[in-house]
Amino acid sequence: MNPNTPQSKTEPPPRHRGSHRGPFPPQQPSVGFQRNRSDRGRRKDRASRRPRKQFDRSRGEQGSDERRAAGPLLKDLVRPNEEVMHVVPLGGFEETGGRNCLAVEYKGQVLLMDAGVMFPEEDMPGVDYIIPDISSLRGLEQNVRGILVTHAHRDHIGALAHILPRLGNPPVYGSPFSTKLIQKQHADFPDNPKPRTVEFRAGDSVRVGPFEVEAVHELHSIPDALGIVVRTPAGTILNTGDWRLDPDPVHDRKTDLESLQKIGQRGVTALFADSTGADKPGQGISERTVFENLEKIFRASEGRIFASLNSSMLNRIQQLLELATMYRRNVVIEGFSIRTNTEIARELKYISVPKGLIIPAEQSHRLPPARVLVLCTGAQAEEGSALMRIVNKEHRSLHIEPGDTVIFSSSVIPGNERAIENLKDYLARQGAEIYHSQMMDIHASGHPRQEDLKEMLRTVRPEFFVPHHGNYFHRMLHGKLAQEVGILKERVILPKSNGQVLEIRPHQVTLTQTVLPVNYIMVDGLGVGDVGEVVLRDRQILADEGIVIAIIKMAHRTGELVGQPDIISRGFVYMKDQRKLLDDTKRKIREVFSKTQRKNEDASVPNETYIKARVRDDLGQFFFQKTQRRPMIIPLLIEV
């Protein structure tokens, strides 16, 4: 790089879900098979427990786009008479594997790169997933020229069905596998307009509005992953998406370093690169090593083999199909997503399946155990997945039997550790032999490690570097790796958060103080964006403390208590077993009415709002004194 090229101008940003039918015997808790708060164990001292986590308003503010976009809008940054391009991370800069979305603006025209979902955190009960907030695009919806898709993982395409209708259904550019999966996804949203997908292959170059867009092949854990180049007169950016290096990927092509080098030689103003593995030293494991270790398991196994893996790992699926052919095993495929992806891959000729190899699960019982391989979902112990149904004896045809082998050919997603350990424990209780990636190399990550990251930086040689796809810790480490290969510290750009705007001009990248709104848009069933801070806090209280409903009859004219209150409790205490607490609760309500009546004896109409507040507050203090718990309290006043 030319040391005389103007340096970056970096400015600090402003501050601103019936009972579970688990496999464990009745005397054991079946907590390992549900992702819920009870997984964290029993509280030893409720009085001294840490305070409930407060919600950040940026995570929960919901409503219309106008309400959410209380901050600046992208249209406010448009400079039609200047050569400047704005790049805004609408997701992917504060999380690893969640709601990835980059907005690129040039002279009022907009491109989006990816539109993914993020799965909910522990303190978001009932939320299905979270999508990027595009409220900052208000006023530019009709100027969105297209959405560029790097690959078809859900954290990169999962939000398209929600976002496309709000943007006028712009074209979606992606590789053949990605576009096929996007079209399949549309079947879940029949009321939406059909997505306008455009096949965009590695090596293609297209004009999208004022943007020149080029695609380059990259190896990942799903077929047809792309790195995407966007060129304007203001500068060139390269978004690697998710990628990895592998000298022998077995059934896939290597990352196209030669094309990446040529792109770099032509000039890359800013490289946006995957930071997921920035804390992992060395190089990634080769798929050749994985194949050789899987073959050792096949050679040693005399019973059925169950291989559980991510449904998008088509390269790994092809390896397992090849091993099944080599060791004369027929294959059962269980799990909707793995069947769907395999069908698409066969249609596109990405995998080869010998005729008669795949059989229905019902036919597997006619074969000797040593002649059966089951490919299934459930490596993360997901509730309702194929492996979970098999383990719980809920599957119509398949059950674990002594002598079976179970292979976990995947990494453990953070937060799933206990559920997966419990799954392994019960597999062992049922007599299965278990193999996982911590015992031997039977999984290769789809993301680069430190030496791979350095190789990408040396290959592209960008003027400026923006680590992305990771939380700040990973991005910071990635930035240090960039300095090790010669990129100056001031040329490493580290946005503090999603929404922080980058300005790109010829040979210059500026991290501005402008932060666009990037609230959590939560999807709960059919509701999109209608679950916010207040709803989540209420759900947390219900999950942690329970609810008490006091049904109180009150005289219409005098405000006097009529009869005895009815107390309903759920998740707090079982009132029929707590007679004294129930009686004391009713007494407390009578006291409230006695005090209220004395206070309002001159009032002609009783103040319902005041009475409800006093009942709520007094019962809240009373319950905490007696139980060290703070249930949600709802007084219901019935005038008679």
Tell me the catalytic residues.
274, 447
SS3 content of the chain, % helix, strand, coil (to 5): 30, 20, 45
For residue 224, give the DSSP letter.
T
> What is the distance between the alpha carbons of residues 590 and 162, in angstroms, rounded to a whole number?
51
Residue 616 corresponds to which amino acid? R
Separation in Å, CA 69 to CA 94, 167, 371:
19, 16, 59
CA gap 465, 488 in Å, rounded: 9
Alpha-carbon span 464 to 2, nearest angstrom: 12
Which long-range contacts does 380-385 make (Cβ < 8 Å, 24+ apart)? 380/410, 380/412, 380/413, 380/416, 380/419, 380/420, 381/32, 381/33, 381/416, 381/419, 381/420, 381/422, 381/423, 383/33, 383/34, 383/35, 385/335
The residues, any chain, with a CB within 8 Å of residue 600's CB and separated by 6 or more, are: 559, 606, 607, 610
* Cβ atoms < 10 Å from Cβ of 80: 8
Gyration radius of the chain's alpha carbons? 29
Six token digits for residue 539: 């759900």
The 8-class DSSP code of residue 244 comes to B
Q: Bridge-partner residues for 148, per DSSP?
A: 113, 173
251 CB contacts (<8 Å, ≥6 apart)? Answer: 287, 315, 318, 319, 322, 351
> Tokens for 80?
């039609």
Only one residue has tokens 């991290």, namely 511
Residue whose structure tokens are 């500026």: 510
Helix (H) or strand (E) holding 456: helix 450-460
Quick one: three-class SS letters along 289-336? HHHHHHHHHHHHCCCCEEEECCCCCHHHHHHHHHHHHHCCCEEEEECH
Q: Which H/E stretch holds residue 211?
A: strand 211-218
Residue type at 256 in one-letter notation? D
Q: How far apart are CA 247 and CA 230, in angstroms?
A: 28
Place of tokens 């309290």: 633
Q: How far is CA 562 from each of CA 192, 313, 613, rounded to the nearest angstrom?
A: 54, 66, 19
* Cα distances (Å, whole numbers) of residue 98 to 89, 114, 123, 358: 12, 11, 16, 34
CB 468 within 8 A of CB 272: yes
Give, as one character, the DSSP assignment of residue 364. G
